[in-house]
Structure 1
């Protein structure tokens, strides 16, 4: 049976209503209590999807473990439905980590999505784990300047923020699941390193999916 695109869109709309209804009750996260974080990303090689998840000590920003997984993409790339293409390999890779991370960082968007259900929200909800979307380009929403901050409004809510990196470029941080925007931004800022365009966990996951994983999986 083929992939039902209309059903996928409907599912996103139904689940996003639930997430948006819970948004104000998402707990604050005390940074001093964050012990571990994970980052996920994927690359493609000869029609094969290569996913990587890295597991890091949050305070020391030290790599503790990583996993690699190769699979056939379940569907082609469809704007707005990236989660159905890449979330399965990310979730499997995350399950292979030695422990459950306190927060997951995803290369992509969360609530700043046309149906308020981007890949970061999708993964966070499936795993019931705080998640953050981080992207180099905007996807959906209007940017508003408020007290020197560039906030992203979508679906009548503030769901993201534009954060400037040390290089002077901008990244788009959005709420995934079970985290407040202020805490998401603080986590991302802590995990940025000079010269990087994305937080360290995502940067490493991206690099590993393009090099280490390809060698280890003999692709």
Structure 2
């Protein structure tokens, strides 16, 4: 049975419409779901100040800090947890805030770069970064500093890394450990050696 050009075009049109239909249905479902926003009350202790926030349950910790509390020191870089620019301290541990929902941290103690020190009273790590020029454009610096502070605490607490030679002993405060543990914080300006120098200086200070 031969197919005329007219029949071929009709069959092609019907097939194309059938294939395209599911995405349109999905878009309608997405729009309907998007209008059903669910909010929650979240209590966070940020830089020593208690905050009660009501927000969309999908709000990341990063957006809660930047958009709700106006703490813009924490930067939004890749938004995929790959660059480390959004690193903050949650209950003393470093966290990529772009990958963590704010509602997951109900009652947590959050420290951003603003909470580490002030221009009048710098944290030793902030002062060391300035002294050793551990920044250039400065965009990644808040995350680098928060991560660097946490790294020293990790090592002093005996938490091993991939390069720790002896798991039965406390890791050493050495460049090799710093480099491995800071590998999740990217500096596109290439100030890595200066950052290690800053961390080394702080590591040699009395704990």
TM-score of the two chains, using structure 2 as the length reference: 0.28
* Structure with more of its chain in helix, by fraction: 2
Judging by fraction of residues, say which structure has more strand: 1
The alignment's TM-score, normalised by the length of structure 1, stands at 0.27
Larger Rg, first or second structure (1 or 2)? 2
